[in-house]
Structure 1
Amino acid sequence: MTMIQHHPADDLLLAMAAGSLPGGPSLVVATHVEACAQCRSRLQLLEAAGAVVLEDLAPETLSPQALTRTLAAIDALPPEATPARPVAHLPAPPEGMVWPRALQACTATRWRWLGPGMRWSRVALPADPQAKLFLLRIGAGMKLARHTHSDTELTQVLHGSFHDGRALFEAGDFDQTDGSIHHQPVVQASGECICLASIEGRMLFDGAVARTLGALIDM
């Protein structure tokens, strides 16, 4: 089993623990935490630290509906022990791969053509309809167009691996990029790669054709 080498920074985990991370980035971080025991422990530590801080704050009067809303939210949560299973409202994964449980509440389009050996799917998150979430499925040995970013992109590798000139990212690895990164992810020859990506702003592609395709799919 491949050891996970790349993890979310503590500021992302802290924002997730505090509930202040937007829906799209939160989902990508959640898929990583689901696969990574190290980050689950870090997140639990940050949540515990936040609980201690809350205990030290002066008490405030709750609204009459606070308990009812809280209980309703708890009832709506899926059981943690739910086993991974095929998800009918997501596109079919490769044989032997199962979508993360974090995606259970999402829906997504069928796989759509992006280029030779490349497909994409737009993911819809009911809790945050404005989130720009994508599944990317890139064939072995293929490469995305060289690009940078107008804002932040978070990527979780779900299957396979790629190298973008900075490092090798394999299944379970997490990547955060922004305008300071100019790269070209290349999928390894051993097999196709599937990633979940949350994009804030836009991907800024070097080539005109890639820029046009990116604009058409709001990437």
Structure 2
Amino acid sequence: MRIRHHPDDALMLAYAAGSLGAGHRLLLDVHLEGCAACRQRMAQLNALGGVMLDELPPAELSPHALERVLARIDAGPGSLADAPRTSTVVGEKPWLPVAWPAAMSGCEVGPWRWMGPGMYWNRVVVPDAPQAKVFMLRIGAGRMLPQHTHSQSELTQVLWGAFDDGRSEFRAGDFDETDGSVRHQPTVQPNGDCICLASVEGTLRFDGWLARLMGASIGM
């Protein structure tokens, strides 16, 4: 599988710095899982970040910081109010023609739901971040999503098939980032379905009222 579209350096740096939202981070996790080139880039960015951190002047800790950390360690993990909660998949995952990404193993994935002729979606609940707007879209051969732009940003990872939105063709393994500067209408190639994982920050701004109603009902 030849991957042609990758996250840009700004997004990779945000990932390395831990400043991405949970949904966007999941999309990067899934892409990195299947892209050796981006894993190498990430290793280089992490190494660069470590050097930059070493060169920063020492920062003074807040008063009693050490005492609080030691007290929490002594109390044991069961008493930590902010300890991460484990999350398990509820029921069986919906059909997918390829192996499920390991990065999604802790996510709750809903069943495929109809949203239009030849088009289905489901919700992906990210562990400890139920507010993250992550979806899977399964669009039939030759079908197209309504034309739209974005109030903030949308990341898309192609899991199966291919689509073209006028800017380029995106195939399995490819990654796309769009924002308010992009107005597009993704159209699936005629030789088969396309399945994508998408993370939305803000909302999608559909051109037509019916598409806007559909997007609002889904939570996009």
TM-score tier by shorter-chain length is 0.7 to 0.9
The separation in 2 between residues aligned to 1:89 and 1:38, in whole angstroms, is 34
Percent identity over the alignment is: 52
Structure 1 gap segments, 5+ residues each: 77-86
| Cα deviation digits, residues 117-167 of structure 1 (max 9, x gap) | 110001111232211110001111111111111111010001111001110
Using a 3 Å threshold, how does the CA distance of structure 1 residues 171 and 88 change in structure 2: closer, same or farther?
farther
Q: Which residue of 2 aligns with 1:22?
A: 21
Q: Structure 2 counterpart of 1:135, which letter? A: M
Matched, 1:94 2:96: yes
Q: Secondary structure at the match of 1:189?
A: coil
The separation in 1 between residues aligned to 2:21 and 2:92, in whole angstroms, is 22
Q: Which residue of 2 aligns with 1:144?
A: 145
Q: Map of 1:75-94 to 2, 5 A cutoff? A: 89=91, 91-94=93-96
Q: Structure 2 counterpart of 1:91, which letter? A: K
Tell me, yes or no, if the aligned pair for 2:94 and 2:109 is still in contact at 8 Å: no
The separation in 1 between residues aligned to 2:178 and 2:149, in whole angstroms, is 8
Tell me, yes or no, if the aligned pair for 2:147 and 2:206 is still in contact at 8 Å: yes
Q: Which residue of 1 aligns with 2:66?
A: 63
| Cα deviation digits, residues 161-186 of structure 1 (max 9, x gap) | 10011100000100011111111101
CA RMSD of aligned residues (A): 2.3
Using a 3 Å threshold, how does the CA distance of structure 1 residues 22 and 94 change in structure 2: closer, same or farther?
closer
The separation in 2 between residues aligned to 1:91 and 1:208, in whole angstroms, is 32
Q: Which residue of 1 aligns with 2:162?
A: 161
Q: Which residue of 2 aligns with 1:215?
A: 216
Using a 3 Å threshold, how does the CA distance of structure 1 residues 217 and 159 change in structure 2: closer, same or farther?
same
Q: TM-score, structure 1 length as denominator?
A: 0.85
Report how far residue 34 of structure 1 moved: 0.8
Q: Map of 1:154-193 to 2, 5 A cutoff? A: 154-193=155-194
Misfit runs of 4+, over 4 Å: 59-62, 66-69, 87-90
Tell me, yes or no, if the aligned pair for 2:90 and 2:109 is still in contact at 8 Å: no
Q: Which residue of 2 aligns with 1:108?
A: 109
Tell me, yes or no, if the aligned pair for 1:161 and 1:171 is still in contact at 8 Å: yes
The separation in 2 between residues aligned to 1:218 and 1:211, in whole angstroms, is 10
Q: Structure 2 counterpart of 1:209, which letter? A: L
Q: Which has the larger radius of gyration?
A: 2
Report how far residue 27 of structure 1 moved: 0.6
